[in-house]
Structure 1
Amino acid sequence: MIQATNKLTERLAGISAINVTPFQTETGRIDETALRRNVRFLLEQGMELIVPCGNTGEYYALSQEERIRVTETVAGEAHGEASIVVGIGQDVMSAIELGRHARQAGADAVMIHQPVHPFVTDDGLVRYYDDIIAALDMPVIPYIRSRSVGKKTFAYLQNCPWVVGVKYAIPDVLLFAETVRSFPREDFIWVCGLAENWAPFFQRAGSRGFTSGLVNVAPELSLAMLQALREDDSQAVRRIWETIKPFEDLRAKYDSGINVSVVKEAMKLLGYNGGVVRPPADELNDEDKAALVAVLQGWNKPIASKGMK
C-alpha cells in the first residue's frame, strides 16, 4: 500500500492524462477497440498516469454500466504500465459502486468529481466525501471545480490519510495560492486541473503536475511543458505555452462548450479515432474546425486525408 501510494503521488506530480471515450458514429456506442488503441498510444508516448471517466472522457454522458466498461478496458490495457485513477461521482451510492469496481479492476486510485447537485453546503460536502472514502479503502483525489468548497472541506481532505492530493480546477491563481498556504501538508499533491494553459501559473502558487487532454493529440508538447516546468526554464515554458495556447483557447470557447469536441476533432484530423461526442456537447462548426486545422498546421502536424489509425 505505501509503495503503491509513493509511486502514485510521484506520478500525480507529472501529467494526468485524461483519455477520451470514443463513440461510434453510426450507433453512438463506445468503440472499445478504439479506446484500447488510444490508451496504447498514450502509453507509447510515455504517459505514466491515465484517468478514465474524466471530464475529457465525457463522464456525465456515460451510463454507470458504460463507466464500468471504460474502467475495465483502460485498466486492462494499461495494467502494470501506468497508474490508473478512475473518475467516480454523482450520488454517494453510485460513486461507491464505481469506486469498488475500479479497485477490483486494478485501479490505483479514484478521482471524485465534485458533485453537480444544485444544493451544496460545506458540511454536506464533508459528509459526501467521508461516506465515499470510508467505503472504498483506497487512495482518493477529489476534483475541485467550484468556490462552493469551503475551509471545512479542505481541512477534512487534508486530515484524511486516504486523500493523496487534490485536482484543483478553479481558474483563480490567487485563491489557489491562499488555499495551498492555508493547508500545508507536505505529502499532499496539488494538481493543476486546468491543463497546460494554467500550469505555469499554478506551479508558482504551489501545484505539482497538471491534467491534460492535449496528450490525446500532441503528447510531445505536454511532455515538453512538464520538463520545462521541472527545470524551471522560464523561456522554454513561455515558448511552449504560446504554442499550446491557441488550442486551449479554442477548447475554452463558448464557456468550454467545445472542450472535448476540439480534442476529438483534432484526433480525427490526425488520423486517430476519437469518435463523436454525445449531447449536450456538439461537433465543431466550420469556423471552429478551420481554426483547429490552422493550429495543427502551425504545429506541423500532418492532416489525415482518409481513414483512422
Structure 2
Amino acid sequence: MTIERKAPTGILGFPVAPFNNSGKLDEKALERNVQFLIDEELSSIFIACGSGEFHALDKGEYQTMIEVALSVVSGKVPVYTGVGGNISQAIEQVKLSEDLGADGYLILPPYLIEGEQEGIFNYYKAILESSDLNAIVYQRDTAILQVETLQRLIEFPQVVGFKEGHGNMELTVEQTQTIGDRLEWINGMPFAEITMPSYVPLGYNTYSSAISNYIPHISRLYFKSLLEGNYQLVRDLYVDVLLPINRIRKSRKGYAVSLIKAGMEIVGLPVGNTVRPPISQVEKEHYKALEQIIRSAFDKYPVDNKEVSH
C-alpha cells in the first residue's frame, strides 16, 4: 500500500476529552463533539492532543478516544492522534494509533526536559523510525527546532507537517523560506486566529482552532475573510469576538483547555464543564463573560449567514 504523504489542510479540529460528574471519560459526549466538528466541515480530527488533555489520560482512555474518533469519522476526514511523553510511551502510542487505523500522529513536545538540538532530533528520530504513518512535528516549549535540525527531520518521508506554537517570527521566516512547500505549515499558536495574519504570508494555510469546538462558523468566516482580503470583516470579528475571548483565555493558566469546555457547554454541547488537575474550571465571572460574547456573536454573525459582508 502506498501512503499519501500529505498533511491535512484548512481548519483542523481538536476535540476535548469530556468527563462526566464522576470524572470518567464520557464517550457519548465525545461522539457528539467529533460529529459536531465533522458536520461543521472541519478538515480533520486531531484526537487526544493538548485540548484533549493528553497529559491526564490513562492508557485505556487514550485508546477509547481514538476508537471513538475513528468510529464517528468513518473515513470522512483524516484522523491524527497525539503522541508524546518518554520515547517508549510515544512509540507505544504510535503503534496503537497505527493498529487502530489512524491516518497519522502529532508528536507533542518532550515533557519538561529541554534538550540541545541533537537531543531533540534524536527524540523525534526514534519516534519516526517506529512507523511509516504520517507524522507532524510540533514546535513549542521544550522543542524549538533550528532550521538545520528541521532539515534533518524532513529526510524522513513520514514528516508531512510542521505545527508551530512558539511565536518567534524570525525563526519562522527562516524555516518556511528555507524549506518551502516540502511541509504543510500549521499555525498551532494558542488561539491561532489571533496570529494567523502574520503566518499566512509565510506559507501557513492551515491552523488548529480551539473555538471551532463551539463557534466554528466564526472560524470559517474569519479564515475566509482573511484569505480573501476582506480586512474590515476580519477586524470586526477581532473586535467583536476573537480578542474578547482571548482576553479571558489569557487571564488564567489552563484556560486554553477549560475555556473550550465552557464554550461548548454554553452552546448546548453535552461536554460537561469538568477538567482534570492541574487545570482548573472556568471561574463564574469569566464563564458569564464568555456567554455574553458568544450570544452577541450569534446575534451579529448568524450561523446560517455564510456570506456576512460589510
TM-score norm. by structure 2 comes to: 0.89
Extract unaligned runs of 5+ from structure 1: 302-309
C-alpha separation in 2, matches of 1:230 and 1:158: 28
C-alpha separation in 2, matches of 1:73 and 1:280: 25
| Residue 201 (str. 1) matches residue 198 (str. 2) | yes
Give the share of equivalent positions with the same residue, in percent.
Answer: 28
Contact kept in structure 2, 1:90 and 1:116, CA below 8 Å: yes
| Residue 212 (str. 1) matches residue 209 (str. 2) | yes
Contact kept in structure 1, 2:147 and 2:174, CA below 8 Å: no
Q: Secondary structure at the residue paired with 2:20?
A: coil
In the alignment, which residue of structure 2 is the partner of 1:238? 235
Residues 153-205 of structure 1: CA deviation (Å, up to 9, x unaligned)? 21222322110011101123333223212333x23111000221111211123
Relative to structure 1, is the Cα distance of residues 240 and 3 closer, same or farther in structure 2, using a 3 angstrom cutoff? farther
Tell me which of 147, 150, 154 is aligned to 1:154: 150
In the alignment, which residue of structure 2 is the partner of 1:121? 116
In the alignment, which residue of structure 2 is the partner of 1:140? 135
Extract unaligned runs of 5+ from structure 2: 300-310
Contact kept in structure 2, 1:87 and 1:110, CA below 8 Å: yes
**What residue identity is the alignment partner of 1:153?**
T
Contact kept in structure 2, 1:144 and 1:166, CA below 8 Å: yes
Residues 53-97 of structure 1: CA deviation (Å, up to 9, x unaligned)? 111111111122211111111111112111101111111111111
Please give the residue correspondences for 1:30-179 in structure 2 after superposition, counting only pairs within 5 Å: 30-146=25-141, 148-179=144-175
**What residue identity is the alignment partner of 2:226?**
L
In the alignment, which residue of structure 1 is the partner of 2:5? 5
Contact kept in structure 1, 2:144 and 2:166, CA below 8 Å: no
Contact kept in structure 2, 1:126 and 1:152, CA below 8 Å: no
C-alpha separation in 2, matches of 1:253 and 1:159: 41
**What residue identity is the alignment partner of 2:223?**
L
CA RMSD of aligned residues (A): 1.8
Residues 186-237 of structure 1: CA deviation (Å, up to 9, x unaligned)? 2311100022111121112331211011111001011112322332433333
Contact kept in structure 2, 1:173 and 1:205, CA below 8 Å: no
C-alpha separation in 1, matches of 2:113 and 2:16: 27
Q: Secondary structure at the residue paired with 2:247?
A: helix
Q: Secondary structure at the residue paired with 2:282?
A: coil
**What residue identity is the alignment partner of 1:95?**
A
Q: Secondary structure at the residue paired with 1:30?
A: coil
**What residue identity is the alignment partner of 1:155?**
Q
Contact kept in structure 1, 2:15 and 2:46, CA below 8 Å: yes
C-alpha separation in 1, matches of 2:277 and 2:228: 41
| Residue 268 (str. 1) matches residue 256 (str. 2) | no
Deviation at 1:2, TM superposition (A): 5.4
In the alignment, which residue of structure 2 is the partner of 1:307? none
Q: Secondary structure at the residue paired with 1:196?
A: helix
In the alignment, which residue of structure 1 is the partner of 2:18? 22
In the alignment, which residue of structure 2 is the partner of 1:282? 280
In the alignment, which residue of structure 1 is the partner of 2:226? 229
Deviation at 1:119, TM superposition (A): 4.1
Deviation at 1:298, TM superposition (A): 1.8
Q: Secondary structure at the residue paired with 1:167?
A: strand
C-alpha separation in 2, matches of 1:28 and 1:3: 38
Relative to structure 1, is the Cα distance of residues 199 and 63 closer, same or farther in structure 2, using a 3 angstrom cutoff? same
TM-score norm. by structure 1 comes to: 0.89
**What residue identity is the alignment partner of 2:214?**
V
**What residue identity is the alignment partner of 2:14?**
I
Tell me which of 293, 296, 299 is aligned to 1:295: 293
**What residue identity is the alignment partner of 2:236?**
R
Q: Secondary structure at the residue paired with 1:279?
A: coil
Residues 116-156 of structure 1: CA deviation (Å, up to 9, x unaligned)? 23241211111111111111111100111136433342122
